[in-house]
Structure 1
Amino acid sequence: MEAVTKNFFMFLSKNKLLNTLAQKRGGNFAAGKIISGTDFASSIPIIRALNHQGLATTVDYLGEFVDSEEVANERAEECIQTIKMIHQEKLDSHMSVKMTSLGLDIDHELVIHNMTRILDTAEEYGIIVTIDMEDSPRCQATIDLFKQFKEKYNCVSTVLQAYLYRTEQDLQTLSSYQPFLRLVKGAYKEPADVAYPDKKDVDAHYKKLIEQSFQYGLYIAIASHDDNIIQFTKELAAKLKIPNDQFEFQMLYGMRSKTQLELVKQGYKMRVYVPYGRDWYGYFMRRLAERPANIAFAFKGLTKK
């Protein structure tokens, strides 16, 4: 049943008609529930409220798989302006960005140009920018870009996905860069020859990656709503005497809000992934596909006052 549910929501995430309708009519419905707003200015009060509760954030201007150079440049400019506003408003926030939104599928030099513009601004204002990981065909290109940028910039981080077989080797390769890494389970539909098909195997691999990251001395973000993974991290950190300032937890905006605040009270760094923009539909469907429990969290958020 879990596989059927995942396939269903992944199918919905790629439906262009539903995506178009959601962009035109659904932004106000989703705002304040699963996204912070349709633009960054409208998101600032929500981010500030989260900060006042002790929650850091990372913001994501939604949109991916861009096939227009003009749109890619526009998205880069939006990211630059958002970084400036984060600084101006004194928000405790990072920024996340997908390489396909900046032109990865169009031209290599285009994505280099756009990301360089973003990181120049981020370095100036001391704002971390995380290169989000996308589906497996783009994994190597994303890692190569991260390594290239990391040689020049301190403010860049990236993401590794536990459901991919290759990730343990990727972690070992990247460890020499001493990166800030976000560890996730993975949200894209992948074939069994590149990704673990069973949740128990993904979870086991995730735990192994957490332990190896601690052993490499990396600062990591455990991005999970899974109580089992969260508890494992707490116990492992205590066992290995890893201080709380050597890792953080991350969760999605609108999901498990009480748990997020509980982690803050327990003395852990908690960062909320806060998406904004009109292109929210595909993001939302992948979150529902990721884990059946997210369906309950999401619809509770959508219906609350």
Structure 2
Amino acid sequence: MLRALFISLSESRSLRSLAERSSIGQRISGRFVAGTQVEDALRVTRRLNEAGLSVSIDNLGENASSVEEVQQSARLYEQLLSEISAGGLNANVSLKLTHMGLDVDPKLAYSQVSALVDRAASVQPKNFVRVDMEGSAYTQRTLDIVHELHSVPQNRGCVGAVIQSYMRRSEDDVTKLLTHGIRIRLCKGAYKEPAEIAFQAKSEVDSNYLRLMKTLLKSGVYHGLATHDEKIIREAKTFATGEGIPKDTFEFQMLYGIRRDLQHSLVHEGWRVRVYVPFGTEWYPYMMRRLAERPANVRFVMRNLLRN
């Protein structure tokens, strides 16, 4: 029930407008968002790198409605890729296709992302663009674009997809992506989807995650396991150790501001960890989905609201 409430709140335009303008909202978002500017994201990235953590930077935003908005977002990502390369940072970038214009013009979105992937492939050392997954209305189009981008020879290994374990179709999608050696970030999923296309029970979502996780770890392709679920993390560590899968052939991925203790513990044990670092002014939908995913985040917000 709580999850459904926060997912519903994430879609409220009026609450979003109010929250993103309020000082309280901005203060609370600081736990989960690096800041509003590229420089904020880079500052946080440097600090995390110093602690042995890799980073994926995301300029928050979705469902861009104009060409100008799309072009501005693309320029920010170009700047990020340049700054990461120039600064020798251990970081890549994540983006949403709707933020790159998928709703405005699919050809525009493809051209913008293609240019960014080309940029990532041309720097030394090569970088990587993660194409995030959104709601089910975009699933097939997103995967089609990732496949097309990855089919360009120089892009191979420089672009990857996200698979959500709560989607019933995910096993088939994983099989198709692995056929082409495409890197995958596996997560549980944070959108409200109907039962006919998505598992509703946590036990089913977790079971599918573990099944897909084992497939990914045995594939020989470098993947990311995005989860804060300690039970799943223990299962992954046990499986990798038992199968003789080296620690440097995959990574755990976690969100900025969530389970920092667990992030550092995994690094101390020798596992690779990448922290997803979002920045930008459009933080409200992102934060609401984080509250939907993890009740402990709600307690954090309430403590901040009760402060003087």
Partners of 1:255 and 1:298 within 8 A in 2: no
Q: Which deviations, in whole Å up to 9, do the C-alpha atoms of 1:79-103 show, x marking residues without a partner?
A: 1111111112221111000000011
Aligned to 1:110: 108
Q: Which amino acid aligns with 1:18?
A: L
Aligned to 2:78: 80
Cα distance in structure 2, aligned partners of 1:105 and 1:299: 35
Partners of 2:168 and 2:199 within 8 A in 1: yes
Where in structure 2 are the equivalents of 1:132-281 lying within 5 Å? 132-152=132-152, 153-154=155-156, 155-281=158-284
Q: Which amino acid aligns with 1:138?
A: Y
**RMSD value, Cα:** 1.8
SS at match of 2:93: strand
- 1:9 aligned residue (6, 12, 19): 6
Cα distance in structure 2, aligned partners of 1:140 and 1:210: 21
Range with bigger deviation, 123-132 or 210-219: 210-219
Q: Which deviations, in whole Å up to 9, do the C-alpha atoms of 1:32-69 show, x marking residues without a partner?
A: 42111101112222211110000110000000011212
**Number of residues of Structure 1 aligned to a counterpart in Structure 2:** 301
- 1:40 aligned residue (38, 41, 47): 38
Range with bigger deviation, 162-171 or 114-123: 114-123
For structure 1, the 5+ residue unaligned runs are none
Cα distance in structure 1, aligned partners of 2:184 and 2:37: 27
**Deviation, structure 1 residue 197:** 0.3
Structure-2 change in CA distance of 1:284 and 1:17 (3 Å): same
**Deviation, structure 1 residue 295:** 2.7
Partners of 2:49 and 2:55 within 8 A in 1: yes
SS at match of 1:287: helix
Cα distance in structure 2, aligned partners of 1:259 and 1:284: 20
Cα distance in structure 1, aligned partners of 2:234 and 2:305: 28
**Deviation, structure 1 residue 14:** 1.0
SS at match of 2:98: helix
Q: Which amino acid aligns with 2:18?
A: L
Aligned to 1:67: 65
Partners of 2:40 and 2:279 within 8 A in 1: no
| 1:123 counterpart = 2:126 | no
Partners of 1:33 and 1:301 within 8 A in 2: no
SS at match of 2:6: helix
Structure-2 change in CA distance of 1:47 and 1:283 (3 Å): same
Range with bigger deviation, 68-77 or 228-237: 68-77
TM-score by length of 2: 0.93
Partners of 1:255 and 1:297 within 8 A in 2: no
Cα distance in structure 1, aligned partners of 2:303 and 2:81: 31
SS at match of 2:99: helix
Q: Which amino acid aligns with 2:148?
A: Q
Structure-2 change in CA distance of 1:69 and 1:139 (3 Å): same
Structure-2 change in CA distance of 1:25 and 1:182 (3 Å): same
Cα distance in structure 1, aligned partners of 2:113 and 2:54: 23
Partners of 2:28 and 2:301 within 8 A in 1: no
Range with bigger deviation, 165-174 or 84-93: 84-93
Cα distance in structure 1, aligned partners of 2:239 and 2:140: 30
